[in-house]
Structure 1
Amino acid sequence: MSVRRLYNASLMGALALLVHLCMVDLAICSSNFTDQLALFNFKSSIKNDPNNVFSNWTKETNFCGWAGVLCSRRRQRVTGLLLGNMSLKGTISPHVGNLSFLQLLNLSYNSFYGHLTDEIGYLRCLKTLSLSGNMLEGNIPLGLHHCQRLETITFWGNKFSGRIPKELSTLPSLSLIALGQNELIGTIPPSFGNISSLEVFGLEENHIYGNVPTELAQLPNLKLIDLVFNNLTGPLPPAIFNKSSMVEIDLNYNAFSGNLPTNNGLFLPNLEILLLDHDQLTGNIPSSLSNSSKLTLLILAANLFTGPVPKHLGDLKHLEIFHLPKNQLTNEPGSIELSFLTDLSNCTSLVELLMGQNKLSGTLPNSVGNLSNSLEMLSFSENQLIGTIPKEIGSLRNLTVLSLAANNLNGNIPSTLGEIKSLQRLYLGGNNFHGSIPIEICLLSNLGDLYAEQNKLSGTIPSCIENLRGLQVIKLHHNKLTFIPSSLWNLETLRLLDLSFNSLGGSLDPNIRPSRVLEIVDLSWNQISGSIPRVIGSFQSLTSLNLSRNLFSGPIPNTMGNLITLDFLDLSHNNLSGQIPKSLEALSHIQYMNFSCNKLAGEIPNEGPFMNLTSRSFMENEALCGNPILKVPPCASNSSKKSMI
């Protein structure tokens, strides 16, 4: 039954039932009955109401007192249906189109599904239509353009498909349209540039392609444009960067090219958020960016920007997030240090400063310690920095992440790092640090990741490392460390331990504490001797164990058969003797095993994972027998260590 026919039938029913009560104003009474009937039909399309929202939607109560219903005072007509975030599930009844005085319809953050009814176009008084966070699909109804009073349309987070109806651009009062996180295709209709009242335009996370229409960029009142995660191309419209009204520009994760428009050195005085990361923008970052003195969030990562970091960044007093990684930025010509860090010390609200994966050279200035007390993330990884880490870095007491990996930094790791009690992730790998690991590292009670691999660190791992109760990852491979303290195995949260390619000696404590969470252990390419502790079979979560290229002797513990989660085991190039334990046949997840170049003897197990191994897993042992032993070349000695790296 169409909405018009339903409306007429409802009107006739109201006259028949209420004629003796409505002699004065039949039209008003019958219209009220129409609203009530429309609401009952809306309720009937709801399949699930876990919060009992409709418990008082009964014929015995006035519908103007129903949950989520707003009415006008004089005529008692429904003007608002506010049922957002109620966990409702069902379809949107076409009868909602009979609520002819409805101004506000909010059904957001529920589980409405199916198509949005075309009858929505009959709501000629509608000003706000909010359906975000549902599962609606199909095309956006063309009839919406009949709702000429619409000011707000929010369809964010549904499954709408098809093209953006250009008819929506005929809505003269529209100020906000949010169509993000749907499955819309096609281009942006240039006719949206005709809506002079438009302030917010959101199409993020769709499949929109083509250019941003110049007409859209010229809207006089535009404050926010969000086109994130689409397939847009071409240059950025200069008009967007010439509007004093702009507060937020989100154009990242597209394929925009060309330079960042500067419009004769002017920039946006009211701009607070600028997101242009993961595009293909080129050229220099303009110094006029500092004119946007209200900027709080500036992300230009993963582009092709060149040249130095712009000057006068200290004018951005409100800057909180500053991301420029994955570009081709360089130092100021002739500068021997990162001088812009001194300028940034004026940004007293700075929380994140990410500059990794550029071509920055020179040294870290002592002024790095003057950066904001609010700073939580600092990254200069994968650049060309030289010199030492200034001891003043310990002044950044609220840092949670410090990444200086993959540079050419040298000297000692400063003991002042121990003053950054909030530090959770420390990345210093791929440099030329030497000396010992400072014992002050043990003061970092919140540390979860310790990366200092591929350096020239020597000495022992501090025994106080057991104080780091939250430590999950230790990567110290490719150094010159000489000793593993037994206390290291007391770390109850440790998931990954990589100490390969060091000079570790001595033996492993047979009474080390078994771990329930340790997943990866790599002690290969060291000089560890003695027996493999039997307790290692109690490491309940172990998936990878590499003890190759050491001096382990004695038998392979049969307790290793308890490592049912293991998928990688390498015991090659040691002095192990005795038989290969038959208990290893129970390792059903194992993908790789290597026992070669030891002094093993006896029969090779032939069940379970051993059925898939070749002779390369057993070559160069004393007296192994049984299938699949074949004649193989002699093993390389440990003296060829460098050639194997």
Structure 2
Amino acid sequence: MRSTTRFYRLFLSLAFNALMLLESHGFTDESDRQALLEFKSQVSEGKRDALSSWNNSFPLCSWKGVRCGRKHKRVTRLDLGGLQLGGVISPSIGNLSFLISLNLYDNSFGGTIPQEMGNLFRLQHLNMSYNFLGGGIPASFSNFSRLLELDLISNHLGHCVPSEIGSLTKLVRLNLGTNNLQGKLPASLGNLTSLREMSFDENNIEGRIPDDIARLTQMALLELSMNKFSGVFPPSIFNLSSLEDLYIADNHFSGRLRHDFGILLPNLRELNMAVNYLTGSIPATISNISTLQKLGMNHNSLTGSIPTFGKVPNLQWLLLDTNSLGTYSHGDLEFLSSLSNCTKLVFLLISRNRLGGDLPIIANLSATLIYLGLSANFFSGRIPHDIGNLISLQMLGLGGNMLTGPLPTSLGKLSDLGLLSLYSNRMSGEIPSFIGNFSRLTELDLSYNNFDGVVPPSLGNCRILLHLWIEYNKLNGTIPREIMQISSLVNLSMAGNSLSGSLPKDVGRLQNLVTLNVAHNKLSGKLPLDLGTCFSLEELYLQGNYFDGTIPDISGLVAVQRVNLSNNNLFGSIPGYFANFSKLQRLSLSDNNFEGCVPTEGIFQNSTIVSVFGNRNLCGGIKELKLKPCFAVGIALLLFSVIASVSLWLRKRKKNHQTNNLTSSTLGAFHGKISYGDLRNATDGFSSSNLIGSGSFGTVFKALLPTENKIVAVKVLNMQRRGAMKSFMAECESLKDIRHRNLVKLLTACASIDFQGNEFRALIYEFMPNGSLDMWLHPEEIEEIHRPSRTLTLLERLNIAIDVASVLDYLHVHCHEPIAHCDLKPSNVLLDDDLTAHVSDFGLARLLLKFDQESFFNQLSSAGVRGTIGYAAPEYGMGGQPSIHGDVYSFGVLVLEMFTGKRPTNELFEGNFTLYSYTKSALPERVLDIADKSILHNGLRVGFPVVECLKVILDVGLRCCEESPMNRLATSEAAKELISIRERFFKTRRTARR
């Protein structure tokens, strides 16, 4: 029996060895050959004959990219990376059953990953990165039980990450970045306990990071940037103490960072958490991570001070821009001195924060510093003279501060400078000629300063300059011809200076120019003939000069989108080729001396695109332009026009006889009335560039009154809108005899006719440079260029509320006749230089003691709800008369909006759930849950007195917007309580400092 058993064992052993020998030398070698030939048949070869050796003339193991095992001569490695191969991956590749490594990196394979690849159970290394593979990750990949590396970066893979991926328990490297993966990360990732590198960056993965990731304790690299992850910063990451590189930028992570961040992750080399919603302060323990080389926390909502980094000698990048760091004070830059120990620092960006004080001596910063970004803060004083010691500097951003004085001469030492940005400061002196020595300069922005003198011709030496912005300074002299030698220029803006002379004739050399802006200077002469050869030009602004002659042939500017030639002395006919400019969005030819017929084709069919008023000798055009006809069809037609015009005038005169008498008496209170022509000139023809707001009955323009050299706001009534005349008269009557520091001052008014014979009404107010309260409370709803550079603090909001309450108390009680505003809301509260509030827009106001039938305002009143939805008192919706109680309700809503950051019309509020109930349900315990987060991030310590102040302020708002008018606070009481809150706030803060 035993001998039989031994025989069978020997037989089976010999048979197995024979089969293995046959497999390695015979028929299975042929299966590998056939699999590769089938693979080749579906490949398009980018390089010439890249796979030419793949034929029966060469041994299989000598084919390009093919490696075989020493014993069995089976294909174990296939390396085809970077050969520019295309086509699709054949399923036959799954027949290479001995394959250990497959590299198809950096090719152009399309299609999907074949399921048959799951047969490669011996596979340890798989790299198919940088192709065009689509579809999902095959579930058959779960068979790769020996896989160590999986690289599929930069393809078009979609669908969710399969949960089966958790079965690859030996995986050391997992790279699925730059695809279209969706859904959530599976919890099964926690099974990959051998993993050291994991990347899912640049996908569409959402949701929270699974807690199971805490089990990946060997992890050194974690890349999750540019997805849609949300929730608080994942606490599971703090278990990964071996992490060296962490990238979670550009997601929706929120919450505060733990104070022991640097203790729990002590081995970090690179940390990128930019573009999230992180709040609170930067943990000071981060500055104790001695291995740290790159730190990016920019584009968040971080507050507090910047920690010192003296213990981080290898720091190269420190990116903290676009947060709310700092307290506007001199101590905000104390961290800079510690950076003298960071001798390898290359990038330092702290722009767009709340950092204040004078710029310190920065000579001790690293000599390797390339990028220094300090823009959009509150720095004052002069640029330090020792800035020239930063000899490696290539980019210097100091714009959007309050810097004064001239440019220091040492700046000329920075010969490698490629970007110099100093916009919106208060700098003065001449533009130094040494800037022309910056041969690598690509961007120069000196706009909105007080630089004077001439434009230095040496700028022409900056031969690779792309952007030159020197607008709105005090520059004079001529435009140097040398500027026209900079053929690389894309943007050239010199607007708002006192430049004289002509536009250089060789402007046509600027073949790459996209924007040319020399508006509002003193330029004269004829426009250059070769202006039409700037074929890349999209925006041309020449308005507000003294150019004369005809428009040269610029028909070649087929890419142009905006052309403004208004307010010059140009004459001749309007070229017909403008009609063919398909991309043109705005053409302004107003206030010149053009003559002849206005075209009616192309863009000239749209009066919102074309502006031609102020040219007396123009005719024709579409009827919306309201120009005289270009031809006569007989005396009858002329007489008919005259008769029709006279009849219309008589009807208007009769209709407005009574109102005009009232207008005359009302406007009599405003001395020095202004004409339509004056206002048209002061607003650049009511240009959209001067538009600062619009409302129910008109639009508001910024204007410079040359007679008084004063900037004002001009509210132009839309007389086609029903009720506009009533609004005009209500505003004049309300404001003519009242004076209060918190009212917008009505300077004068205009009751006239325009150049087309239409009624024209306008109100001229003092200009409020800080815009409306609405734009400060909801900056996310306006264009970025118009957004305030910061948010309002708690104290500033409280002061504004007190200002509004004070003026309402004056209107309701202390005015010669009580007045109800009837339309109080944030857009009607304007802010001056000091953020003092001024109530505006009395177009719906009522004099409360004049409600008999003979009353002027009763004659002009209209039925229906008064005010704006959300702010109007509930009794107005039921036909109630305007009253001071209605204003109190609106004020209460305004206070709640100011301190919660929620509009009363927010989509959160439906049915009986309103801003009132939302606030009331949270008081007093949950006040911080409903408070506007920007208040809490504005440099205030959350605790007493902030919490107590918010409770009392919101309670005042609630008591003002009670449903019953009789239960509402009087404005005098509201003002007193708010003032009392402010006094207690200051008292408590002073006590706390002691």
Taking structure 2 as the reference length, the TM-score comes to 0.59
Check 1:623–1:355 CA distance in 2 against 1; reply closer, same or farther (3 A cut).
Answer: same
- For the residue of structure 2 that corresponds to 1:406, the secondary structure is coil
- Which of 369, 383, 387 is 2:377 aligned to? 383
Judge which range, 290-299 or 556-565, deviates more. Answer: 556-565
Deviation at residue 596 of structure 1 after TM alignment = 2.1
Superposition map of 1:69-218 within 5 A: 69-218=66-215
Q: Distance in 1 between matches of 2:384 and 2:527?
A: 42
Superposition map of 1:465-544 within 5 A: 465-487=459-481, 488-508=483-503, 514-544=509-539
Q: Distance in 2 between matches of 1:401 and 1:612?
A: 45
Residue type of the alignment partner of 2:593: K
Contact 2:390 2:414 in 1 (8 A): yes
1:291 corresponds to: 288
Superposition map of 1:210-359 within 5 A: 210-263=207-260, 266-311=263-308, 313-330=309-326, 335-336=330-331, 338-359=333-354
Deviation at residue 49 of structure 1 after TM alignment = 5.4
Runs of 4+ in 1 over 6 A off after TM superposition: none
Q: Distance in 1 between matches of 2:136 and 2:507?
A: 64
Contact 1:558 1:584 in 2 (8 A): no
Residue type of the alignment partner of 1:382: A
1:372-407 residue CA offsets vs partner (Å, 9 max, x unmatched): 222111111111111111111122222221111111
The structure whose Rg is larger is: 2
Contact 1:242 1:266 in 2 (8 A): no
Deviation at residue 167 of structure 1 after TM alignment = 2.2
Residue type of the alignment partner of 1:338: L
1:637 corresponds to: 681
Q: Give % identity.
A: 35
1:414-469 residue CA offsets vs partner (Å, 9 max, x unmatched): 23222111111111111111222122222212212111111122221112222222
1:566-608 residue CA offsets vs partner (Å, 9 max, x unmatched): 4433222223344445676675654433232223444445666
Deviation at residue 134 of structure 1 after TM alignment = 2.0
Contact 2:274 2:297 in 1 (8 A): yes
Q: Distance in 1 between matches of 2:467 and 2:265?
A: 44
1:39-68 residue CA offsets vs partner (Å, 9 max, x unmatched): 233223324454423212222322111111
1:66 corresponds to: 63
1:449 corresponds to: 443
Deviation at residue 501 of structure 1 after TM alignment = 1.6
Check 1:170–1:532 CA distance in 2 against 1; reply closer, same or farther (3 A cut).
Answer: closer
Contact 1:339 1:365 in 2 (8 A): no
Contact 1:292 1:316 in 2 (8 A): yes
Residue type of the alignment partner of 1:363: D
Residue type of the alignment partner of 1:640: L
Judge which range, 535-544 or 389-398, deviates more. Answer: 535-544
2:783 corresponds to: none
1:4 corresponds to: none
- For the residue of structure 2 that corresponds to 1:624, the secondary structure is strand
Contact 2:260 2:285 in 1 (8 A): no
Q: Distance in 2 between matches of 1:334 and 1:590?
A: 48
2:391 corresponds to: 397
Q: Give the unaligned 5+ runs of structure 2.
A: 1-17, 629-675, 683-703, 714-766, 768-994
Judge which range, 618-627 or 146-155, deviates more. Answer: 618-627
Contact 1:218 1:240 in 2 (8 A): no
Check 1:381–1:42 CA distance in 2 against 1; reply closer, same or farther (3 A cut).
Answer: same
1:570 corresponds to: 564
Question: RMSD of the alignment, in Å?
Answer: 2.8
Q: Distance in 1 between matches of 2:95 and 2:506?
A: 78
1:14 corresponds to: none
Residue type of the alignment partner of 1:323: L
- Which of 337, 344, 369 is 2:363 aligned to? 369
Q: Give the unaligned 5+ runs of structure 1.
A: 1-21
1:44 aligns with 2:109: no
Superposition map of 1:398-477 within 5 A: 398-477=392-471
- For the residue of structure 2 that corresponds to 1:138, the secondary structure is coil
Taking structure 1 as the reference length, the TM-score comes to 0.89
Contact 2:528 2:552 in 1 (8 A): no
Deviation at residue 480 of structure 1 after TM alignment = 1.4
1:6 corresponds to: none
Check 1:94–1:531 CA distance in 2 against 1; reply closer, same or farther (3 A cut).
Answer: closer
Q: Distance in 1 between matches of 2:238 and 2:19?
A: 63
Q: Distance in 1 between matches of 2:575 and 2:206?
A: 61
Aligned length: 620
Contact 1:227 1:250 in 2 (8 A): yes
Residue type of the alignment partner of 1:275: N
1:180-211 residue CA offsets vs partner (Å, 9 max, x unmatched): 22222222222222222111111112222222
1:226-247 residue CA offsets vs partner (Å, 9 max, x unmatched): 1112221122233423544211
Deviation at residue 262 of structure 1 after TM alignment = 4.2
Residue type of the alignment partner of 1:351: V
Check 1:570–1:98 CA distance in 2 against 1; reply closer, same or farther (3 A cut).
Answer: closer
Deviation at residue 511 of structure 1 after TM alignment = 6.7
2:31 corresponds to: 34
Q: Distance in 2 between matches of 1:585 and 1:184?
A: 47
Q: Distance in 1 between matches of 2:546 and 2:388?
A: 40
Judge which range, 123-132 or 557-566, deviates more. Answer: 557-566
- For the residue of structure 2 that corresponds to 1:53, the secondary structure is coil
Deviation at residue 120 of structure 1 after TM alignment = 2.0
- For the residue of structure 2 that corresponds to 1:159, the secondary structure is coil
Residue type of the alignment partner of 1:286: P
Judge which range, 48-57 or 582-591, deviates more. Answer: 582-591
Check 1:264–1:270 CA distance in 2 against 1; reply closer, same or farther (3 A cut).
Answer: closer
- For the residue of structure 2 that corresponds to 1:39, the secondary structure is helix
Check 1:511–1:195 CA distance in 2 against 1; reply closer, same or farther (3 A cut).
Answer: closer
Deviation at residue 355 of structure 1 after TM alignment = 1.0
1:295-324 residue CA offsets vs partner (Å, 9 max, x unmatched): 22211111111111112x122222222211
Q: Distance in 2 between matches of 1:23 and 1:547?
A: 88
1:168-188 residue CA offsets vs partner (Å, 9 max, x unmatched): 222231111111222222222
Check 1:198–1:330 CA distance in 2 against 1; reply closer, same or farther (3 A cut).
Answer: same
Judge which range, 112-121 or 275-284, deviates more. Answer: 112-121
Deviation at residue 283 of structure 1 after TM alignment = 1.2
- For the residue of structure 1 that corresponds to 2:705, the secondary structure is helix
- For the residue of structure 2 that corresponds to 1:284, the secondary structure is coil
- Which of 547, 550, 553 is 1:556 aligned to? 550
Q: Distance in 1 between matches of 2:558 and 2:94?
A: 62
Residue type of the alignment partner of 1:329: L
